[in-house]
Structure 1
Amino acid sequence: MTGTPDDTGLTHRGLAASGAGRILLIACGALAREILALRDRHGWDHLDLTCLPAILHNHPEKITDAVRDAVEAHRDDYARICVVYADCGTGGRLQTACDALGVEMVPGPHCYAFYEGLDRFAQYDEPTSFYLTDFLVRQFDAFVWKPLGLDRHPQLREMYFGNYETLVYQAQTDDPALTALAEAHATRLGLRFERRFTGYGDLETRMARWAGGH
């Protein structure tokens, strides 16, 4: 069974008839494009992907149960399951669940940290920075602007973003069109703009370990 990445819904990619030697990645939908790009680049054909809705990041209290249900649903079909989430606002509950399920997840507080690299991100002290990834640049209206009600009540911008100073765009790809769009989002929010080319950061490192059986 094959499919295409869905920014908001559940997707399966390359589900094998037999789980012998295959690894399933259960991931946030916001990472689908990047995971598939890395898999294809490195020829990790034994990695399959299923994505949970990216919009769960607006409801982090639901992430742990959704991941647990997905692991249980696919456990018998795969030699190994890995969870491509960091803590993502679950307050440690996701890590506790993954430990109990015997599956590994991505370390760190959120995807911004593992894209930057955990060690490097820890060196920054940026409480006034608002982060966007390639996914969030593309899906800014659906995941930021509209959920916050700014499409209906733009006066709320100051309440939500008044304490921020800079929009930091963590670019996974070198795409001038995405950079221009990210800068436009910064302008809409009244923030300074900074672009950092992070590439795939620790996501690539972690996937390489899993693909190699570590």
Structure 2
Amino acid sequence: MQLRNQGRVLLIACGALAREILALIKANEWQHMDLQCLPAIYHNTPEKITPAVKGYIEKHRGDYSDIFVVYADCGTGGQLQTLCDEMGVSMIAGPHCYSFFEGNAAFEAREELTCFYLTDFLVRQFDAFFWRPMGLDKHPQLRDMYFGNYTTLVYQAQLKDAALEAKAKDCARRMGLAYEYRYTGYGDLAPALAALSSPS
């Protein structure tokens, strides 16, 4: 059967990575890539990720030369990797995006068990993803119950943006945590996408 998009690569990605993936595609002129995102809010219900990815693979695998899943494990307990292995699809390495943005090797070496991580996306969406769903907008006394085991908020910045950094500092203040800024850029995401074959 002739592929309708011969030589093209479909990226099935978390919506939280859309801005970064599109920036890399534009900067590197990767015109052979198409992006399909799943809702970023699935991270609050990670059991939805694997079946949703499976649905997109089944829907599009006949249309592309290659499919690459731009999710790490992301709370699926290994199920996403198992699915990709069974369906012959590759995915980005790492336990979560905090790890591959930092660089998986560097992140593993740090062993930071008491750090709470935010990326550019999560700084922008802090209230929608954390503060309101946890009820902290109405019940701030719950803060210690949720965050009492953390000591530091680590902001992993993909872009150098003063407004985002100020917002991240405010998130740390609201959570009652120390604050640390790290400029990671795109980390392992950039080489993972660069390694995907381009059309001949």
- TM-score (norm: length of structure 2): 0.96
1:49-198 correspondence runs (5 A): 49-198=35-184
Question: Matches of 2:98 and 2:194 in 1, distance apart?
Answer: 19
8 Å CA contact retained: 2:10, 2:68: yes
* Unaligned stretches of 5+ residues in structure 1: 1-16
8 Å CA contact retained: 1:26, 1:84: yes
Runs of 4+ in 1 over 6 A off after TM superposition: none
Give secondary structure in 2 for the equivalent of 1:48. strand
* Unaligned stretches of 5+ residues in structure 2: none
The alpha-carbon deviation at position 156 of structure 1 amounts to 0.8
The alpha-carbon deviation at position 18 of structure 1 amounts to 3.5
- TM-score (norm: length of structure 1): 0.90
Question: Matches of 2:24 and 2:197 in 1, distance apart?
Answer: 11
Question: Matches of 2:47 and 2:60 in 1, distance apart?
Answer: 22
How many residues are paired up? 197
Per-residue CA deviations over 1:89-126 (Å, capped at 9, x if unaligned) read 11101000001111000111000000000110011121
8 Å CA contact retained: 2:159, 2:185: yes
Give secondary structure in 1 for the equivalent of 2:23. helix
Question: Matches of 2:55 and 2:92 in 1, distance apart?
Answer: 18
Larger relative contact order (CA 8 Å, sep ≥ 6): 2
Give secondary structure in 2 for the equivalent of 1:39. helix
Question: Matches of 1:63 and 1:82 in 2, distance apart?
Answer: 15
Per-residue CA deviations over 1:150-208 (Å, capped at 9, x if unaligned) read 11211111100011110000000000110001001100101111000000000001000
Question: Matches of 1:92 and 1:127 in 2, distance apart?
Answer: 20
Which amino acid letter does the alignment assign opposite residue 162 of structure 1?
A: G
Which amino acid letter does the alignment assign opposite residue 192 of structure 1?
A: A
